[in-house]
Amino acid sequence: MKTLPTFEFASYRFRPATMADLPVARAWNAADPEHSYELQFENFWVEQTLVANSYVLEDDEGPVFFIKMVRGVHSYGDSQGKRIRWEWDTQVELHLQFNRAADRMVKLRTMEGMIYGWGWLQGLLAAAGVDTVYFQTRDERTALFAMRRLGFRLDRYGSAAGFGRYEALVIKAA
């Protein structure tokens, strides 16, 4: 498998997540009721495949958050089923895990990392042909932060009953 690059910008390092990161990612995941679903997949936060890449944003104090980007691929074939060509989808779904159990200073550090990280990542994704970035959340504070500070917009509500008003809330980059 191709080695993914590490990027440095401002005072941050954006690097591929590895198995060495798994204990921290899973501990943050276990303490976050919004992301309990991912716990059933042992390597969710360190997965590296053709369509899914997991990264860690770090500063001098260590991991700030984990991010997984999933991008679809469309394959086109001929009448005999032979693949003729494939192309990347122009949409990316984000999964983000940070330390929800942290104190106020760590939360401020996380928000600052998201602001700098998103500003940088937008350019990288646009250069790769991505025109839509989205994520889902049930957490009102996360949704409001993404809309007010990161420029995302509310796209739609889902209809799943019993999970609160932010179940299947889709936030897209403006």
pLDDT tens across 35-75, in order?
777 778 889 999 998 889 999 999 999 999 999 999 877 66
Q: Which residues of the chain have pLDDT under 50?
A: 1, 158-169, 174
Secondary structure of residue 59 in the 3-state scheme: strand
Tell me where in the chain the CATH 3.40.630 domain(s) lie: 7-130
d(Cα 26, Cα 106) in Å, to the nearest integer? Answer: 18
Q: So what's the pLDDT on residue 135?
A: 81
Fold of 7-130: Aminopeptidase (3.40.630)
Q: So what's the pLDDT on residue 39?
A: 78
Find out whether 48 and 16 touch, Cβ atoms under 8 Å. yes
Secondary structure of residue 23 in the 3-state scheme: helix
Secondary structure of residue 88 in the 3-state scheme: strand
Q: So what's the pLDDT on residue 162?
A: 35
* Burial zone of 92 (CB within 10 Å; 0-12 exposed, 13-18 middle, 19+ buried): buried
Which pTM does this prediction carry?
0.81
* Burial zone of 137 (CB within 10 Å; 0-12 exposed, 13-18 middle, 19+ buried): buried
2: left (phi over 0), alpha (psi -120 to 50) or beta: beta
Find out whether 14 and 54 touch, Cβ atoms under 8 Å. no
